[in-house]
Amino acid sequence: MTGELAPVATTGAALGREAASPFGKSAVLAMLVVGFAAFVAMLYFIGTGDTGGNRGTGPAHASSNAIHGYTGLSQLLEANGYDVEKSREQSGLETSGLLVLTPTQNTDPDEFAAILEERQYQGPTLVILPKWFAIRPSGKIAEEDEDQVQDDWVQLVSSNLPGWTQDLPEPYTLETAMDPDASGATPSWGGLGLSGNLPAPTPLYAENSPDHEALVIDDKGRPLAVNVVGQPDTYFYEDAHFLTVVIEPDLLNNYGLADPTRAALALAIVEQAGYEDKQVTFDLTLVGLGGSTNLLTLAFRPPFLAATICLILAMLIVGWRAFLRFGPVAAQSQEARFGKAQLVTNGAGLIVRARRLRLLADPYVALIERKLGNALGLAKPDATTIDQALEQRLPDEEPFSNRVARLQNATKPSEVMRAAQSLSELASKTTGKSRR
């Protein structure tokens, strides 16, 4: 097209044929949803530090299902209406409710004493001392028993004294001892209106102290659980929150809770230790299960949780819009075209898509004026001189100025095209060339 306006043709050859997708919309959507959920889950577990692992062996804690762990105690409290939380952060030590501490055999007495001193004015505390050393079951398991063996089963190798308790400052100092019955009989216990037998013949007990008030004793009168009260007329005796220490862990661990009477005793100990409050926090940092605070964990906590939810929703909306953006993918034409004709076609197509045909009126009029001026021999062609010259050469034709005015006043694409077509035909008749 040279010197004239032509409509832009859009053909199947130019755009290519639609390519059939190998997957249906439902299959692609399912893959996106599953992939997104897996990604979010991965981020969450990385942030919390909960990547699985063996929860049976090692020190006892509230997430351990092993025989010496305290999952049974946490579940027992939940079943009786307690609000139970398992804290993996140092901030959990600052709770105003009952805090349950399960230190290990290697606990540093100075650091532990600092925690207890802070808890004096924060809230009540229940300490369960360590006793058992557990490993994975050794030896070959009979084939008929393999289906019954669970991953969190352990073997209790030995019982040990927590020697660091004697290095605690007063009134926390505890002199612990262990006196297994030579006959192998399990000793009895009594306290808080209940009584029963221990599950193992090796009780861990503490020596009597004026700073401690016995809650549970064995059949020889030795303390198995105490309240740390301090001496009369001291700040600890008058102002400090309750500190309850369970010396014999078999009263509260999974091993001990197999007996209903010991389970009732566990509830009684927790009730008196926490002032009958229903808020209980189990600390996991002392056994090495603390989670460090990072940007990922902060993103899923208030006040940043709202922004994270908005970001996730925005990602879902953007993904959904991308999924339905243009429908099926159109195959690109393999034909590569170059030259002026393709340049003009592309430019015309852009103008048509932009719906700006009216902007072509003045440039197109100037183009036709120059073309008619050359054909009529006019030095300075304008609408008036062209009309005068055409009146002599083509007296039956509509004046040039009328056609120009119709093009400039056109508002619709169809009107613009008809007016431009009229000017193009006039130029063709004047130059003696047929319109292509």
Render 192-229 in DSSP notation, one character per residue: TTEEEE-SSS--EEE---TTEEEEEEETTS-EEEEEE-
Give the distance between the most distant pair of CA atoms in the chain: 140
Q: Which two tokens stand for residue 143?
A: 């084939």
- In the chain, the amino acid numbered 22 is P
Lowest mean pLDDT among 70-84, 353-367, 378-392: 353-367
pLDDT confidence band for 1 (50 / 70 / 90): very low
The residue among 361 and 75 whose pLDDT is bigger is 75
Q: What is the mean pLDDT of residues 124-151?
A: 76
Q: Which two tokens stand for residue 110?
A: 């100075």
Q: Is the distance from CB of 73 to CB of 102 less than 8 angstroms?
A: no
Would you call 408 helix, strand, or coil by DSSP? helix
pLDDT confidence band for 12 (50 / 70 / 90): very low
Q: What angle, rounded to 10 degrees, do the helices at 304-323 and 25-48 form?
A: 160
Per-residue pLDDT, 185: 81
pLDDT confidence band for 11 (50 / 70 / 90): very low
Per-residue pLDDT, 143: 58
Asked whether the predicted pLDDT for residue 363 surpasses 70, the reply is yes
Question: Sign of dihedral through CA atoms 340, 342, 344, 350?
Answer: negative
Per-residue pLDDT, 2: 42
How many CB atoms are closer than 10 A to CB 121? 9
pTM over cut 0.75: no
Alpha-carbon distance of 102 to 62, in angstroms, equals 8
User: Percentage of residues in the chain with pLDDT exceeding 90?
Assistant: 32
Per-residue pLDDT, 18: 45
